[in-house]
Chain A
Amino acid sequence: MTNLLLEVRDLKTRFHTPEGTVYAVNGISFNLPQGSALAVVGESGCGKSVTMMSILRLIPIPPGQIVSGEALYVGQDLLKLSENEMEANIRGKAIAMIFQDPMTSLNPVLTIGRQLTEPLRIHLGLDHNQAQRRAIQLLEMVGISGGANRLESYPHQFSGGMRQRVMIAMALAANPSLLIADEPTTALDVTIQAQIIELVERLRREIGLTIIWITHDLGVVAGMAERVIVMYAGYIVEEADVDALYEMPCHPYTQALLAALPRADRRRDRRLKSIPGAPPNLLVEPKGCPFAPRCEHVRERCRLENPTLTTVSSSAALRGLSGDHRVACWVDLATGAMR
């Protein structure tokens, strides 16, 4: 068994808003082995970002509240650390995060160099020249050449893809072991997206970075992840190794998502399968399976009781694919029988 870098247990996050309580994350548990690449997939509002923000304790409290759970980073519960310890040792140090829109994370009136070297000098205690050299080295690592000149540039002089590279360079500054990427390529064009995926893939190989990639794009996931978590309405509905998930999706939601995707590599053979309805209102205390109202395999029990995540012995697992394949569904879709 590989070493676990992060172990999340029964994480629950809520937001107390004037309209009522938003049940954003409803008991999430997962393991993240060192050096692995995990993708968290789901539609907007499924809780994928809130989960990661909760782990880093970046959600605003109030209105947010982490109701329960543990997030063990190398055995240390992040949810119990003091704000100072989080600031000094975890955020941006052990765990770095990059976001969808790099422009909002960069200060438009400071040079890239200033923004890159400042944390190096303050947190790592490097002097000006050391910081400068390290910054150039970081930029080269993310594929930006011409180092010293680039440090003089301002964010607006860089294109979207370049800014995302700069963000990654900044994230790497303190040698983190975990990089959480929240939809980092959603705002980028496909050719640039391919470059960024390639870059992250290379960093994982070369410096052993562990990756959590949050996305809504099942195509991107197939290309970069080892293991995949599918979220819906604040729950994990399915978790599996990437091959098993695409070959043998066990949750009706995962199946429907895959059937709703057109493919650029195949001739069209049918209309897309559409999922009726819309994701549920998170203001209502969940009862029963959250996907039940949109599910074509729904049974009586689904509406009353929410299924827990259980390991299934899928044919993929039988064929020797590694890792648990876990799904939260009462119905075994292969046989139609109840679990």
Chain B
Amino acid sequence: MTETSPAPVSNIAALPLDQLDAPPLTLGRLAWLRFRRHKMALAGMALLGLLILYCVGGGFVFSEKYANYNDTSLALQPPSAAHWFGTDTIGRDILARTIYGGQISLLIGLTAVILEVSAGIVVGALAGYFGGWVDNLLMRFTEAILIIPQIFLLLVMAKFFAGDIPDINFLGREFSGSVIVIVVIIGLTSWPYLARIVRAEFLSLKESEFILAARATGTSTPEIIFLHILPNCIAPIVVSATLGVANAITLEAYISFLGLGVRPPTATWGNMLEGAYNYIESAYWMWLFPGLLILFIVLAINFVGDGLRDALDPRSRAV
């Protein structure tokens, strides 16, 4: 169609141009200015940083072989200079195992959340934007999943899928195939909450005036969904994804603790706790260290999530 637009020459020459005095303030900077006002969120972020450093950096100090190396003659040693966190029932170094276990726990948390977020966004966006029978269908399905307790669903699925899954090689490391199972089932059972949040955001945003302006211009539906609405849902998505990581780590610990999760020798904080179950009184170090790490990471992530909730609110104009 396009006739090229004749460039109109302004004859409103007398109009003075408004100049902003304040230096440019990008959305990222604005979010940071608000985030740093939350002392607890800052502390949470620092703690989270330390924990990630511990899990990642520790990998350079101890090899995975060392973490899985067992020497039953060294079994159940309390913390000492040689084994700072002590050793477990078959003489593995708990410090090294919390490092590698932490890597797996974080990996499970992150990948499960990627799955959760993708599914949640697709379902929520479709339901919220199109409404009508699409919404009806998707939301009834979402509710159907929501009414089944997540733990129950997790356990059933863990049991069901716990067949022979071959070990996999990822980033040059061997993982027990059960890691994949755990990631998938946590991801598949967590998305309904997010889907409902995304749907609610879409419902309110699709009626907002800037969307109407885009529709009046003729912007296509995919562009409206992905360029206009989705970036404005980023705040609740990021917040719920952050908290989702903590949730996934806890769930993994839970399933692993019940013996349905990640199979040894691959360590996770959860299955380390399982191993400690029979030694709660006799060998405190076996549960104390992985337990504390789970506590710290969940706490840190929750504080960060709280800070992000305020920092990312697109409608708040206050610094």
Contacts and interface: CB of A to CB of B under 8 A. Distances in A.
- Direct A–B touching, Cβ under 8 Å: yes
A19 B16 contact: no
Interface in B27-59: 37
Secondary structure of the A contact surface, majority rule: loop
A18 B37 contact: yes
A18 B16 contact: no
Contacts of A18: 37, 319
Contacts of A276: 16
Contacts of B319: 18-19
A18 B39 CA distance: 13
Nearest to A18: B37
A18 B30 CA distance: 13
Interface string B1-40: 0000000000000001010000000000000000001000
Nearest to B36: A18
Category for how many chain A residues contact B: under 10
Contacts of B37: 18
A25 to B, nearest CB: 20
A277 B18 CA distance: 7
Contacts of A277: 18
Contacts of B16: 276
Interface string A18-61: 11000000000000000000000000000000000000000000
A276 B18 CA distance: 9
A276 B16 CA distance: 8
A21 to B, nearest CB: 14
A19 B319 CA distance: 7
Nearest to A277: B18
Nearest to B22: A281
Contacts of A19: 319
A277 B16 CA distance: 9
A18 B34 CA distance: 10
Interface string A270-305: 000000110000000000000000000000000000
Nearest to B34: A18
A19 B22 CA distance: 13
A109 to B, nearest CB: 23
Most buried by B among A18, A276, A277: A18
Interface string B278-319: 000000000000000000000000000000000000000001
A215 to B, nearest CB: 24
Nearest to A276: B16
B306 to A, nearest CB: 17
B8 to A, nearest CB: 20
A18 B311 CA distance: 14
A300 B174 CA distance: 78
Nearest to A19: B319
A277 B20 CA distance: 11
B35 to A, nearest CB: 12
A242 B268 CA distance: 78
B295 to A, nearest CB: 31
A276 B319 CA distance: 26
A276 B15 CA distance: 10
Nearest to B16: A276
A19 B25 CA distance: 14
A277 B37 CA distance: 32
Contacts of B18: 277
A266 B144 CA distance: 65
Interface in A1-33: 18-19
A18 B310 CA distance: 15
Interface string B154-191: 00000000000000000000000000000000000000
A273 to B, nearest CB: 14
A160 B18 CA distance: 38
B164 to A, nearest CB: 58
Give 5 nearest A-B pairs by CB, closest first. Answer: A19-B319, A18-B37, A276-B16, A18-B319, A277-B18
5 contacts: A18-B37, A18-B319, A19-B319, A276-B16, A277-B18
Interface of B: 16, 18, 37, 319
